[in-house]
Structure 1
């Protein structure tokens, strides 16, 4: 899988030692790309250069003969597109849907990669990891939590740059497909507007059969919230089919103010577990100053664009903070929800709805 990070990187080091625990020495806006491959329980890390090399161009089919530099984001985009939509590049197979994953508090890179790897295996999606320096600055307890909150705020610009680049790449892909399908529709149905529209829609869906989704876990939601509260990245055009706010370590109070700024083609999901042990600890770390956390408070659920999904007391969930993996997924309802949500579908439709509290309940 591929990783984009604003951590300090060490290209000459091997394995996970290639990533540092602090922001890039060039500043927290600096982004680097890497490819991570897992062999047994070990990660092989290849820190990619800033610009596409001749070998990378030959592997991905990119043209680097022009006078302008071709940056490595193009290489990563070409490789990811070949995996999620193999027919586009002449390959075979049905492909898979795409997830951008933003991890949470006190996650070193191994933890983030292991979790993303489990996503890929469990839900059959292609994951790109955005990793920010969430290691607590070497501190413990409250100091660690506060350090990560500071790093999250410092990483706002980096996440905005990632989303901006993803949006521009997807816009190019869409424009290329749209032009090709329009030309084909013009040849097939030059004088029948209704047949033209039907054909265009069907062919457009066939040429882009994948969904693009954003999954934010724990304090990754705080980072996303801070980005939405600034002008770093604002777009009226949705990039993602689904945006899934899992176990959000942000204030419940006034959350609608930023959640309603999220543009999604299909759904914005907010998942809840009143017994979430990590969010309970998060609140205790700050004492009375820390307000109820969005991911474990089943009241004041008032964002007009959000579907709230309650996992409290669902079988096998217990006090889990990451109930999309491990023991909680023994519950078929839990597994089915996240399978649908991470693959860009309307995952709440099979769940009973509690109108009084404005939430869907996982059994």
Structure 2
């Protein structure tokens, strides 16, 4: 099952657009994706103060026999694209809770991509309060019910890591994601230099991992505008709390940005890595080569 928490605008009562919620970028609506029927969203009513939409979703995923993975997407994602990635993660045998933000704020023309990217960066900054509120909803549940049984992992993809960074560095951060077993900074489109200053704050209670693929074509585009990105450089892997996993030695990962799909996961070690991460389990690093000079595990 896929659930969507979003600060996007609602379209036609059953879909989300590429703008902010009409009531402000900090406002969140909650929906279920009907993948098996009309492929639309069903929004939870906001009228019952005793059963908030967020609480209803949490109750549903906690009653499931599957673990649940939170997913924060990256740049240039319409709702349709976002849900497609959610379905990829769901195929690993997990439910998915997506935080969907307006990261597609412009036309599709390639020659305007730089302008659109810069607007998406600003949208990520403006979405950090909504993301804080999103995690406060889970934190409230933990205060009442204790640790979650099923919600144990979060995957943050590409430019979504910049949104996460902005949240962690904000005044409202109180380690709300600390109930998670695993947090994966997947092909992070953030500055590699000194990333540990904010990322380490997530690792107080959780296992925090970061993937690296030096041949990542998408992050090559980001490199045109930015310093080295965490997701595509083996330099600056300086955290003593994070674990870094280099996918660059897998031939199938050549040029790939989304490492949890084929052809990358034709490699058994890569597939096992993502199965463990998505389900909130500890990754068995005994199969990987640890490179002390780089402070990372090489997946082969």
Counterpart residue number, 2:75: 105
- Indicate yes or no: 2:272 matched with 1:302: no
1:277-335: CA deviations, max 9, x gaps? 00001112x2xxx1000000101111121000000031311110001112211111110
Counterpart residue number, 2:9: 8
Which protein has greater RCO, CA pairs closer than 8 Å, 6+ apart?
Answer: 2
TM-score of the pair, normalised by structure 1 = 0.77
Distance 1:257 1:151 in 2: 23
Counterpart residue number, 2:51: 70
**1:142-161 paired onto structure 2 within 5 Å:** 142-161=114-133
- Indicate yes or no: 2:280 matched with 1:344: yes
TM-score of the pair, normalised by structure 2 = 0.93
Larger Rg: 1
**8 Å Cα contact 2:152-2:181 kept in structure 1:** yes
1:72-128: CA deviations, max 9, x gaps? 222112112111xxxxxxxxxxx222211000000111111111111111x211110
- Indicate yes or no: 2:37 matched with 1:37: no
- Indicate yes or no: 2:170 matched with 1:230: yes
Distance 1:132 1:240 in 2: 21
Identify, as 1 or 2, the structure richer in helix.
Answer: 1
Counterpart residue number, 2:16: 19
Q: Please point out which of 64, 74, 89 is paired with 1:119.
A: 89
How many positions carry a matched residue from both structures? 295
Counterpart residue number, 1:196: none
Q: CA RMSD in A?
A: 1.8
Q: Please point out which of 104, 127, 133 is paired with 2:102.
A: 133
**8 Å Cα contact 1:236-1:263 kept in structure 2:** no
**Structure 1 outlier segments of 4+, above 4 Å:** none
Deviation of 1:172 after TM superposition, in Å, equals 2.1
1:184-224: CA deviations, max 9, x gaps? xxxxxxxxxxxxxxxxxxxxxxxx65451111000000000
Counterpart residue number, 2:160: 220
Counterpart residue number, 1:194: none
Deviation of 1:71 after TM superposition, in Å, equals 1.8
1:27-68: CA deviations, max 9, x gaps? 10000001101138x62211222134xxxxxxxxxxxxxxx5
